[in-house]
Amino acid sequence: MRNWLCIVVSLAALVSVKPVRAQGNYEIQVYGAATVEPKSTMVELHSNFTPEGEKYVIDGVYPTNHQLHETLEITQGLTNWSEVGFYVFSSWQDGHGVQWVGDHIRPRVRVPDSWHWPVGVSLSTEIGYQRAVYSPDTWTWEIRPIVDKYMGRWYWAVNPALERTWHGPDIKQGIGFSPAVKLSYDFSRKISGGIEYYADYGRLGAFDSLHNQQQQIFAVTDLNVSPKWEINIGVGVGPTASTDHLIIKAILGRHFNWKKPSLLN
C-alpha cells in the first residue's frame, strides 16, 4: 500500500493542479474498491442541487446557488479487476437553462480477490474537460487510491485523491489533495446510513487556510433494494467560507448484465 501511494504521488507530480471546485458538485461519491464485473455495465445518474451556494459570478464562473447538476456516469466492466467509466456533466440554472458542462473518462483497477488482501484496494485515474464558465481550469486530472472494508454492520472507505490542472489559471499550483471518507452502518439488509466527508485542502505541502479550504459533510443513506439497483441519497453542509453551504445529492444506478443468463456460468 505504501508503495502504491509513492507511485501515485510520483505520477501526480508530472502534471499540474486542478481548481478547488472543478467537478466536486457534479459527482459527489466516495468510491468503493469493487469494480463493475466484466460483460456488465453500471449506469448512474448523479443529481445534485445546491439550495445555498455561491451567489456571484467570480472570475467568469457561474454562481453555484440554485444550480442543479445532472451527471450521467456509464461504467463498463473490463475484467474482474478493471473497469472504465465515462461522465457527461450538465447543469441547469435559472437564466442559463440546461448547459453541457464537460466530459471525463475514468479507468480503474483493483486488487483481485485472489490476492486475499484484508481490505479492498483500488486505484482510479480521471481525466476530463469542463467549460470555463463552470470551472476556470478546463483540463484536469485526478488519481484516486481507494481503500475500503466491510466489518460486520460497519463499512468504511477512504479516497485520498490527488488532483492536477492541465489547462487553466491553476496550472502551476502543484498537486492538490482532496480526500473523501465514508463511514456507514447497516441498519438492515436494505437500509444503511452514515456520513460522507469531502474536502479539498489545496496544494499538497502548503494547504490553504481553513477559510479557503473546501469541506463538506453529508448525512447519507444507501438503499440496497436489489443487486441491480444502487440508490444513495444525502444532504450535505459546507462549514467553510469557500464551500457551498447546503447541497442535496442523489445517485440512482442500474446494473445491466450482458452475459447470457445461465446457471452454467
Q: Binding segment for another protein among 45-53, 58-66, 130-138, 153-161 (CB under 8 A)? A: 153-161
Using CB under 8 A as the binding rule, whether residue 31 contacts another protein is answered as: no
Please say which residue, 224 or 240, places its beta carbon nearer to another protein: 224
Please say which residue, 33 or 123, places its beta carbon nearer to another protein: 33
DSSP structure class, residue 225: S
| Minimum CB distance to another protein, residue 34 (Å) | 8
Using CB under 8 A as the binding rule, whether residue 264 contacts another protein is answered as: yes
| Minimum CB distance to another protein, residue 157 (Å) | 12
What type of residue sits at position 231?
I
Using CB under 8 A as the binding rule, whether residue 256 contacts another protein is answered as: no
Candidate list 92, 150, 166, 207; residue touching another protein; CB under 8 A:
150
Among positions 118-147, residues that touch another protein (CB under 8 A) are: none
Strand-pairing partners, residue 196, are 182, 218
Q: How far apart are CA 63 and CA 119, in angstroms?
A: 40
Q: How far apart are CA 37 and CA 155, in angstroms?
A: 21
The number of residues in the chain equals 265
Using CB under 8 A as the binding rule, whether residue 227 contacts another protein is answered as: yes
Using CB under 8 A as the binding rule, whether residue 154 contacts another protein is answered as: yes
| Minimum CB distance to another protein, residue 154 (Å) | 7
φ and ψ at residue 197, rounded to 5 degrees: -125, 130
| Rg, the chain, Cα only | 18
DSSP structure class, residue 244: -
Q: Binding segment for another protein among 67-75, 126-134, 175-183, 189-197 (CB under 8 A)? A: 189-197
Candidate list 113, 209, 219, 241; residue touching another protein; CB under 8 A:
113
Residue 201 near residue 172 (C-beta atoms within 8 A): no
Candidate list 71, 192, 213, 232; residue touching another protein; CB under 8 A:
192
Residue 234 near residue 210 (C-beta atoms within 8 A): no
φ and ψ at residue 145, rounded to 5 degrees: -70, 145
Residue 211 near residue 242 (C-beta atoms within 8 A): yes
Q: Which three cell numbers stand for residue 174?
A: 502543484
Q: Which residues sit at the interface with another protein, rule CB under 8 A?
A: 34, 113-114, 116, 149-155, 186, 188-190, 192, 224, 227, 263-265
